[in-house]
Amino acid sequence: MKQKIIGLFGGSGFVGQNLAFFLAKQGYAVRVFTRHRKNTRDLWMNSSIEIIEVDLANQKHLAEALSGCFSIVNLIGILNEKKDNGKEFINAHVRTLENILSACATAQISNFVQISALNADVNGNSFYLKSKGLAEDLLKTTFNKNSGVSAAFPNSITIIKPSVIFGARDAFTNKFASLLKYIPLFFPLAKGDVKFQPVYVGDLTALIFKYIEKPDQGVSTIHVGGPEIYTLKEILSLIADIMGQKTKVIPLSNFLSCLQANFLEYVPGKPFSRDNLRSLSKDSICLSSATTIGERVETQSTSMKNILPTYLNYEGVRKQYLIDEAISKEKNENL
């Protein structure tokens, strides 16, 4: 039987690569569309994954590349831009999506999955969140405009809005781990009290797979949170504990947070920006009535404290941390 083909935009990123390998393992043929083939080298050796270089501004080229795909997943996203004006976010998250949707209509794609962000909103606190919100609105208005008019347009659109995503090679926990190597004693932290509901990348890929295989009709919006809620300070402290560092986290005032963001905005690699700071002005957690990702995929969702020790690369400390956790758990069960 011929393999079904799933197309991925943003397949060279952290979530995209995990999803590509997951789908290939499930027996799908995967097409990863990218502007630069070299960025996908980690995927090259998998025979079920095809890398196709595309010009995202060329409608005809895009439609040809998408031909034969059963479903498209859009994971394209940037966290920072060169200038703090929102234009690069709009280009990456909205203008590119417009081109992809037009190509989907031409190629008669039946199912579309969009990976957004939990606080994405056209009235969001940051350029990043606003652009993600505009992308969601674009999907909804385009679907409503074409529904019942063009059978070629996807009849199922799923918008998945996760809280912060973690896992091996992520840009979140690993960034903190790297910074802790250079700031081992005192760590000045902006917005340390903001709350997250971290989602493990393995759970997220399972959820995406669910909506590829059994999509709802029309436009569905899925808010996604992990099993636990942490403050940013608690996440940093957890990482420090796993690394065996007695780091004192120093919460910064709003004024000092702004100074920190303004300074780090211009540090090579941009570890923290003014727009990142604006994004942190609102908790990234699901409403109390929302189901966790584990409930959505009908399995137990993955705890951050169980996964972080497996990839922070401090083997001796990691083993001791797991031993301590097991002892603590046993004591609690015997209480």
**Quick check: is 102 in a domain?**
yes
Residue whose C-alpha is closest to residue 126's, from 310, 272, 333, 274: 274
pLDDT at 331 over 50: no
Classify residue 205: in a domain, yes or no.
Answer: yes
The answer to whether the CB of 189 falls within 8 A of the CB of 249 is: yes
Is residue 27 in a domain? yes
**Within-domain flag for 157:** yes
pLDDT of residue 324 exceeding 90, the answer is: no
pLDDT tens for 159-218 read 999 999 999 999 999 999 999 988 888 999 999 999 999 999 999 999 999 999 998 888
Give the whole-angstrom CA distance, residue 41 versus residue 215.
Answer: 30
Residue 252 has pLDDT above 80, yes or no: yes
pLDDT of residue 333 exceeding 70: no
For the domain that residue 58 is a member of, what is the CATH number? Answer: 3.40.50.720
pLDDT (tens digit, 9 = 90+) per residue, 271-302?
A: 999 999 999 999 999 976 555 666 666 667 89
In a domain, 23, yes or no: yes
- C-alpha 289, offset from chain centre: 22
Kindly indicate the confidence band of residue 153, based on its pLDDT and cuts at 50, 70 and 90: low
Range of the domain at 36: 5-166+198-224
Over residues 128-148, the mean pLDDT reads 87
pLDDT tens, residue by residue, 37-92: 999 999 999 999 999 999 999 989 999 999 999 999 999 999 999 999 999 999 99
Pairing of strands 195-196, 71-74: unpaired
Confidence class for position 129, pLDDT limits 50, 70, 90: very high
The predicted pLDDT at position 148 comes to 46
Domain membership flag for residue 22: yes
Q: How many CA atoms lie within 13 A of 297 on its CB side?
A: 24
Who wins on pLDDT, 146 or 302?
302
| Rounded CA separation 162/205 (Å) | 11
pLDDT number for residue 334? 46
- Above 70 in pLDDT, residue 313? no
Query: Which residues on neighbouring strands pair with residue 160, listed in sequence order?
Result: 115, 222
Q: Is residue 62 assigned to a domain? A: yes
121 within some domain: yes
Helix/strand/coil (H/E/C) assignment for every residue in the chain? CCCCEEEEECCCCHHHHHHHHHHHHCCCEEEEEECCHHHHHHHCCCCCEEEEECCCCCHHHHHHHHCCCCEEEECCCCCCCCCCCCHHHHHHHHHHHHHHHHHHHHHCCCEEEEECCCCCCCCCCCHHHHHHHHHHHHHHHHHHHHCCCCCCCCCEEEEEEECCEECCCCCCHHHHHHHHHHCCCEEEECCCCCEECCEEHHHHHHHHHHHHHCCCCEEEEEEECCCCCEEHHHHHHHHHHHCCCCCEEEECCHHHHHHHHHHHCCCCCCCCCHHHHHHCCCCECCCCCCCCHHHHCCCCCCCHHHHHHHCCCCHHHHHHHHHHHHHHHHHHHHC
Domain count, the chain: 1
